[in-house]
Amino acid sequence: MAQRHPFHQWIQLEQPRLGTRVTYATDDFFAAKERVIDPATPVFIDGKFDDHGKWMDGWESRRKRVEGHDYCVIQFGVPGIIRGFDIDTSYFTGNYPPQASVEACVSDEENPQEGWVEILPKTGLSGDSHHLLPIDDERIWTHVRLHIYPDGGIARLRVYGQVKADFSGVDGYVDLAAIENGGRAIACSDEHFGSMHNLNAYGRGVNMGDGWETARRRGPGNDWVIVALAQAGIIERIEVDTAHFKGNYPDRVSLDVGHFESDEQATHDSPNWKNLLPETKLKMDQQHYFEALKAHAPATHVRMSIYPDGGISRLRLFGRVGEGNS
């Protein structure tokens, strides 16, 4: 399992499955602008060329022979607060930009011309490296504009943050865990084979890799994950989907709820968890629905425990924002 980075508890606002798109670039002669948000890890293919030269897995502009610099615009599928960037120059060595900066704005346009605010000042870059850059700003944004000075290639831009959905006027069931609503997996015991952030993604899992899966447990205990709900609410229906998990699905699952003032307080061993769903058997490769849940006060976080280990494709927590009907 790859080492966790400092923004691991935040989601990737740039991911295309949220509807995020690269809407403009001043130049992408050598490598298409869309690749800068490709969810796959960048690769280098020795000897691969196209009509414009060496094929590179990222966004790359041509060598600039006039004044100015290049930039690209990314429009989020859902608005969010930005907590950090990873400007990744993997495999770009003699062709990476020596500096970059980032602006953000709020707009309904694909390529806004006004309203940009610098949130990351001009920062030095190195070749073939990850640059993990924290952002301390509570504003909600719809776009970012990545500037490179003066030209060159960026393999990936990862934008870590928090979805901020508008719940005004919401009446009826809402998936309080859904990524598009602002739900986030914030901690787990293990994610050796599959990220906890897959649990609340759009749709059903496309394969076994598109879920949360732990290593085989060889000692006592069980695995668990904690999800911060998009808004405090009453959970009335649970869906636990083991799609594609057959010889490695958990034997049983249970869920607890809690009301915490911050993510930091929602620890696995907190005494404030209250049981919502007792240990219940699971089956392989299917959706499980639970409605006979224990009554509870409005919750901000949910702890899902699996016994003893294994993989879950999706977790849906349907309920009502606020006080609900408890």
State residue 324's pLDDT score: 46
Residue type, 39: P
How much of the chain exceeds pLDDT 90, in percent?
92
What pairing do the DSSP bridges indicate for beta strands 287-290 and 223-241?
A: antiparallel
Q: Tell me the pLDDT tens digit for each residue of 24-77.
A: 999 999 999 999 999 999 999 999 998 888 999 999 999 999 999 999 999 999
Q: Tell me the pLDDT tens digit for each residue of 133-162.
A: 999 999 999 999 999 999 999 999 999 999
Instruction: Report residue 180 as tokens.
Output: 């598009």
State residue 5's pLDDT score: 81
Residues 6+ apart with CB under 8 A from 218: none
pLDDT of residue 108 exceeding 60: yes
Cβ proximity of 255 and 276 under 8 Å: yes
In angstroms, the CA 137 to CA 135 distance is 6
State residue 326's pLDDT score: 37
Q: Is the whole-model pTM more than 0.95?
A: no
State residue 53's pLDDT score: 87
pLDDT of residue 2 exceeding 50: no
pLDDT band at 167 (very low <50, low <70, confident <90, very high): confident
More confident residue, 41 or 3: 41
State residue 325's pLDDT score: 41
pLDDT of residue 177 exceeding 70: yes
State residue 323's pLDDT score: 58
154-165 exposure pattern, b = at least 16 Cβ within 10 A, e = fewer: bbbbbbbbbbbb
Mean pLDDT of the chain: 95
pLDDT band at 3 (very low <50, low <70, confident <90, very high): low
Ordered structural domains, the chain, with CATH: 11-163 (2.60.120.260), 174-321 (2.60.120.260)
